[in-house]
Amino acid sequence: MKMKAAQAMVEIMVKEGITTAFGIPGAGINPVYQFLEKAPIQHFTMRHEEACVHAADGYQRAKHEPALAICSQGPGATNFVTGLYTAFIDSMPVFCVVGQANTHQLNQEPFQCVDMVDVAKTVCKKVFRPMKPEDLPGMLNEAFYLMREGRPGPVLIDFPLNVQNAELDFDINSYVPREIPVVKPDLAKIKEAVKMLSESKSPVIIMGGGCFISECTKEVVELAELLQIPVLTTYQAKGGIPEEHPLNAGHCGIQVGQPIGNRIMLESDMVLAIGNRFSDRHTGDLKTYTEGRKFIHINIAPAQIGLVFEPDLGIVSDAKLAVEALIAEVKAQGLKPINPARAAALPALRKELARKTDYDCSPMMPHRVFQEVNEAFDDETYFTAGCGITQIWGGQLQKINKPCKYLPSGGAGTLGFEVPAAFGVKVAHPECDSVTVVGDFGLTFMGEEIAVASAFHKPIIVVVVNNAYLGLILQNQKGYGFEYAVEMPYNQDGTIDYVKLGEAYGCVAERVFSPQELKEALVRAKASTKASNRCYLIDAICIKTQLCDMGGSIANIKSWAPEE
């Protein structure tokens, strides 16, 4: 049957499982919006194009279903790039569509025409531009396939206006989504991995974010329990093993790492790393990280094996299939627990090395903010995090007991991810609290999306750690022996009023100075968002120049927190 390419796109998106869209309509994409209006796709109009992608990203992380991010051409499309990068580096499948000028104008510099194929190709799995309407179905079929297969990631359709309006012969019943291939492990390598583990004296398992994507955190914990091996979680896998599980060894790393995690890593002679990337903030100095221990690296992307350093054994596989195979082989060999005395000592060591958070001062220590947040919310609460010193404290101090509840911008460290992602989470799970803990500076990146959450009655809770400084940049500058352009006294002295800002965006908002005030405010926030369906913002006034624990290697982390 004859239909416009814009209609064909919408029908294909529905068949591929898109039920939710975050977008901003415009002249360059309105032909698609004409058919979105009556489609079974819930659309939320955002207030910045970057936020469209972050919201779709947050939705995906929380629900494990892709959403659509859509906007018009030109600067609207280029505003997508930061969101695309954020999703790409964290392996999030987000389906993105932007408008484009007419095909015959592409080389004539018309109004709002930018080559998104070249602009976005480094932050997408692939960028597509259909030049004829009949090209569209095949391109979309490939795009949805690439978005999901192997290491997932965003794809972008750069959709010329005249192609949107052009007709093609298309029947949605003839469109068949492609099956995603299963990447199975080499069983000979699985046997070799089990042999290497059996020969080790103090192994450790690293659970990476790929274990969330593959939905195998329970299997990783089962493997750890069989062999009594401590489990480290990367920042992206926070919550993959319950906080008080006897084998939880916390995080390893030079920023969001924890003393327990770094200690266990340094004492290990064998590392079984599953679904992780060995990022620089995790490893720190590579010699310190790798020396004296062997590595088995499991990843679905062949390019990740040996990208940072060459492991002793690399296994290309879906994480869940690999872990299931490891469990089966361990049982078949009757392998006994490895170093059970070390595992038995872990809970006491974790308690001994825990960072102090119960500071009673006013203005507050940021550490105490996270203690109150930990105590206020249940295990079903979702948290989003962006970048900066507040994000590092969150990684170090927040207690998360379930997978996919702590949703950070990991590889990109994007200021501005926090609020729109929290909105996307609330759309995905309206029954749960969606909370973001954000710095006073970070709030001003994409903070306007609080208004979107208010307008659509999807209330989020925003806790502002207000230290009136670019705290992480201050800490970095101190390493160079200077301080410049990082103090923001006006964020606390009333010149800039975050309570009024929150109220302007539809929040109930208040400012707190002490731990007790914060505790009571969090109680009110939870009750208010449920009773009134309004967002809630808490401006928590904190010590201005408190630094966070970090270092250049996992063996040399400097603590800046006072003991008393």
pLDDT in tens, 424-462: 999 999 999 999 999 999 999 999 999 999 999 999 999
Predicted confidence band at 106 (pLDDT cuts at 50, 70, 90)?
confident
b/e sequence 180-189, b meaning 16+ C-beta within 10 Å: eeebebeeeb
Q: Which amino acid is at 229?
A: I
Specify whether the CB–CB gap between 155 and 87 falls below 8 A. no
Q: How confident is residue 561, by pLDDT bands cut at 50, 70 and 90?
A: confident
| Residue 227 pLDDT exceeds 80 | yes
Query: Where would I find the H helices in 383-447?
Result: 389-397, 418-428
Nearest partner of 397 among 243, 207, 275, judged by Cα: 243
Q: Mark which of 353, 386, 420 sits at the end of a domain.
A: 353
* Residues forming beta bridges with residue 90, ordered by sequence position: none
* Pair 295, 315: CB distance under 8 Å: no
**Based on the domain organization, do 123 and 196 belong to the same domain?**
no
Contact 554, 234 (CB under 8 A): no
The residue whose two tokens read 């939880």 is 248
pLDDT 10s digits, 336-394: 999 999 999 999 999 999 999 999 999 999 999 999 999 999 999 999 999 999 999 99
* Tens-digit pLDDT profile for residues 169-185: 999 999 999 999 999 99
Structure confidence at residue 562 as a pLDDT band (50, 70, 90): confident
- Domain for residue 564, yes or no? no
**Angle subtended by helix axes 5-15 and 136-148, to nearest 10:** 30
Among the candidates 353, 380, 407, a domain finishes at 353
Contacts of 342 (CB under 8 A, 6+ apart): 202, 228, 230
Q: What angle do CA 59, 64, 68 make, to 5 degrees?
A: 50
Single-letter code of the amino acid located at 331: K
In the prediction, which pLDDT does 510 show? 98
pLDDT at 36: 98
Do 169 and 27 sit in the same domain of this protein?
Answer: yes
Closest-CA residue to 28 (of 88, 102, 138, 90): 102
Q: Is 38 inside a domain boundary?
A: yes
- Same-domain status, 241 and 322: yes
Can you tell me whether residue 93 is helix, strand or coil?
coil
Rounded Cα–Cα distance for residues 397 and 402 (Å): 15
Ramachandran angles phi, psi of 33, nearest 5°: -60, -30
CATH of the domain at 240: 3.40.50.1220
What gap in Å lies between CA 106 and CA 179, rounded to an integer?
Answer: 34
Q: State how far the Cα of 121 lies from the Cα of 117, in Å rounded to an integer.
A: 6
- Whether 559 is covered by a domain: the verdict is no
pLDDT at 211 exceeding the cut of 90: yes
pLDDT single digits (tens) 545-557: 999 999 999 999 9
Burial class of residue 284 in the structure, from the number of CB atoms within 10 Å of its CB (0-12 exposed, 13-18 middle, 19+ buried): buried
Is the residue at 553 inside a domain?
no
Q: What's the whole-model pTM score?
A: 0.97
Residue 384 and residue 531 in one domain: yes
What share of the chain in percent tops pLDDT 70?
100
Output the average pLDDT for the chain. Answer: 97
Residues 21 and 148 grouped into a single domain: yes
In a domain, 181, yes or no: no
Please check the confidence at residue 563 and state whether its pLDDT lies above 70: no
Asked if residue 554 belongs to a domain, the reply is no
Integer distance in angstroms from the first to the last C-alpha of the chain?
Answer: 75
Shared domain for 141 and 35, answered yes or no, is yes
pLDDT of residue 349: 97
Q: Do 349 and 435 fall into the same domain?
A: no
* Domain stop point among 331, 353, 375: 353
Has residue 320 been placed in a domain? yes
**Cα-Cα-Cα-Cα dihedral of 385, 389, 392, 398, to 10°?**
-70
Half-sphere exposure of 519 (CA within 13 A, CB side): 9
Clarify whether residues 257 and 393 are in a common domain.
no
Token code pair at residue 381: 């609460």
Q: What are the backbone dihedrals phi and psi of residue 250, each rounded to the nearest 5 degrees, phi first?
A: 75, -155
Residues 198 and 340 in one domain: yes
Instruction: Report the C-alpha gap between 395 and 437 in whole angstroms.
Output: 11
CATH assignment of the domain containing 169:
3.40.50.970
Contacts of 310 (CB under 8 A, 6+ apart): none
Question: Do residues 215 and 344 both lie within one domain?
Answer: yes
Whether the predicted pLDDT of 247 surpasses 90: yes
Beta-carbon contacts of residue 458 (< 8 Å; ≥ 6 apart)? 423, 426, 427, 430, 434
Residue 252, in any domain of the structure: yes
Q: What is the CA radius of gyration of the chain?
A: 24
Q: Are residues 158 and 298 in the same domain?
A: no
pLDDT digits (tens, 9 = 90+) for 504-516: 999 999 999 999 9
pLDDT tens for 107-136 read: 888 888 899 999 999 999 999 999 999 999
Residues 411 and 295 in one domain: no
Counted domains in the chain: 3
Domain containing 113 equals: 2-174
Considering the chain, what percentage of its residues have pLDDT values greater than 90? 97
pLDDT > 70? residue 564: no
